[in-house]
Structures are given as C-alpha cells and as structure tokens.
Copies of this chain bind each other. A is one copy, B any other.
C-alpha cells in the first residue's frame, strides 16, 4: 500500500521531508502547498508533482496524509482542518506554543480519530535510537541519571525570537522530549537557571540563550540538560545515561572522520554545522515511521500527548527561572 502525501510548506524543513517522502518506496508525494507560490512551484517541479492550495488538498480524496511544515503559528489550525478532513497528519513540532491551544487541538484530533504524529526528529536519529535500544535491552539496568547536552551553533535571527516561544519551548523542547523518551517515568519536579551570555540583549526580548535544567521523577531519577545558543565547534548533540549496571553514551557526529596530527596536536574536524546536516538520517526515518504508521505497519511513535508533555516541561522550566523556585508538576 502506498501512502499519498501532500506537503504543506516548501521551506527548508519542507524540502527535507519532500526528499524523504520521495525516496520512501511505501509513499508518494502528490502535492505541495505554500503561501509563497514560487517556493511551492520550485519544490513541486523537483519531484514532478502538482502545486495545490490548502483547501484543494483537504478536499482531495487522493490525498491520504499531510506533512505540516509551515510556520509554528499555523500548526494547530492546520492540524484541526486536516483532522476534520480525515487525513493522517504529521506535524513538525510544536503543535502550538500555548498549552490550552494544544489541548483544544488534540481534542479535535481525538474526536476525528485520524492518525496524528508530532515531529520530534531526534527520537529517530540512528545513534540515539541505538542508545535507546541498549537501554530497552537492559544493558545498563535501571536508568538513574541522564545528561543531555544540546547546543546550537549560533543564535537564531533576532526577529525570530519573539515568535519562537523562548529558549525552552523552541530549543529545549527537544531535550525535554528526549528526557521523557529515555527515562520512562513521569517527571514531578523541574528546576532551572537561564541567562543571556551569548547576547545580553536577548534579555530585552524576555528570552535566554544559556540554560541548565534538572528534571526529577518520583523515584528520584535525575536528568540534567545543558543548553546554549552558541557552539563554535559545531552542533553539539550528546546524550549520556547511567543505570545501576552501567553507562551508555551517544557521541557527537561529524561529516568526516579524519584526524590531523601535527605540532599543534591531534585535530578532528568540527561537528555537523546544524540540524539539517546532523539529522539527515533522523528526518528520513521519522517520515518513514509516519508512513509505516499510516499503512498500519506499526503504531504511531510520537503522539500528540508527547508533544503536550514536552511543552508542559518547557513551561515549568521557564516558570522556574522567572520565579526563582523549583516547580512541582
């Protein structure tokens, strides 16, 4: 069975998903929509498909599913529209920045009964996946401590920040989801510190660029997250998990595994520059998972509830910083 997918949003991440859909033998890209017609046409031409409006796609019985890659503030509306139209829906994170809006949206999804998946791409990274598999196989016993290091190579454009939802909802949300994915027990407490060290004027926008967060479960398991909007050495994405039997760690990735030795020492090249190159395989396997779910081959791997839970942790972390106190969930 081939899943016929329409792509909403022909920007950077839309292009990534288009490629992944086109190369998947179980799916077919059938239409592209974008508010900027030129962008839609370019991408549609690359894959020999048609452009269409949102409305046309929703009304088209030959479309089984949509991949929503539009700006964040359109996500919830589009999810509801396509859920009501009976399409399977994949949506890039976040569903929305406001928790109430997310809840409403998920209610609509639930009532519609359509298949829905949120795009937390890192769960599909082969290295993190191997780490998760090792945990699930009991290789480290019961998880006790997790350390997630997640640093972007640089600040986003200044104009993006006000609509981003802030550091915790925009960036750390991936780490909150990863923490949930790995620990397998709800968090009951959040404590965090955050500052603007990369660019002090970020504070004027009410945001931060550097943060350290602790999450705690009822049984006393502990997660620490280290975030920065700056990493001169590339996109820093590491996870380390310890249990009663041992520790497992996923290392950073780089485009070329070479090492140069000279009088300055032994030097390996910088890491991948950002998520578009670092997570190529993750994006491919993420959409593969959605397609597999759409064909009934496996259950949905990242649910709307996962999207909501990560957002709740982001909100709690932000409150912890603003109110200088630990937040109990």
Q: Which of A29-37, A115-123, A177-185, A260-268 contacts B (4 or more CB under 8 A)?
A: A260-268
Note all chain B residues with C-beta closer than 8 A to A265.
Answer: 233, 267-270
* Contact A256 B224, CB 8 Å, known A210-B145, A262-B233: no
Evaluate contact between B46 and A145: CB separation under 8 angstroms: no
A224–B226 CB distance below 8 A: yes
Which chain B residues border A206 with CB–CB below 8 Å? none
Chain B: CB-nearest residue to A147: B226
A258 touching B222 by the CB < 8 A rule?
no
A226-B145, A231-B247, A251-B259 given as contacts; is B267 within 8 A of A264 (CB)? yes
Q: Of the 9-residue stretches A64-72, A104-112, A166-174, A190-198, which lies at the interface with chain B?
A: A190-198
Q: Which residues of B contact A232 (CB under 8 A)?
A: 244-247, 261-263
Minimum CB distance partner of A203 in chain B: B220
Q: How distant is A14 from chain B, measured CB to nearest CB, in Å?
A: 17
Q: Is the CB of B258 within 8 A of A248?
A: yes
As a 0/1 sequence over residues 219 to 237 of chain A, the CB contacts with chain B under 8 angstroms (1 = contact) are 1111110101011110010
Q: Which of B25, B256, B266 contacts A270 (CB 8 A)?
A: B266
Task: State whether B144 touches A210 (Cβ < 8 A).
Answer: yes
Which residues of chain B have C-beta atoms less than 8 A from A220's C-beta? 193-197, 210
Most buried by B among A23, A219, A233, A326: A233
Q: How far is the CB of A246 from chain B (nearest CB, A)?
A: 3
Q: With a CB–CB cut-off of 8 A, which chain B residues contact A270? A: 261, 263-266
9-residue interface stretch from A52-60, A76-84, A124-132, A288-296: A124-132
Are B197 and A221 within 8 A (Cβ)?
A: yes
Q: Is A164 an interface residue (CB 8 A)?
A: no
Tell whether, in the assembled complex, residue A262 and residue B244 are in contact, meaning their CB atoms are under 8 Å apart: no
Query: Complex: how many Å from CA A40 to CA B249?
Result: 44
Report the copy number of this chain in the oligomer: 4
Q: Does A139 contact B (CB under 8 A)?
A: yes
Set of chain B residues within 8 Å of A263, measured between Cβ atoms: 232-233, 246, 270
A140 at the interface (CB under 8 A from B): yes
Picked from B197, B231, B266, B326, the residue with its CB within 8 Å of the CB of A324 is: B326
Q: Are the CB atoms of B23 and A46 closer together than 8 Å?
A: no
A219 to B197, CA, bound (A): 8
Distance in angstroms between the alpha carbons of A177 and B121 in the assembled complex = 39
Chain A residues proximal to chain B, CB less than 8 Å: 23, 25, 46, 126-127, 129-131, 134, 139-140, 142, 144-145, 147, 149, 151, 189, 191, 193-198, 210-212, 214, 216, 219-224, 226, 228, 230-233, 236, 242, 244-251, 253, 255-270, 324-326
Q: A195-B221, A267-B268, A324-B326 are in contact. List 16 more A-B contacts (CB 8 A).
A: A130-B269, A131-B256, A145-B228, A147-B226, A191-B214, A193-B222, A211-B222, A214-B214, A233-B247, A233-B265, A246-B261, A248-B260, A250-B258, A253-B257, A266-B267, A267-B267
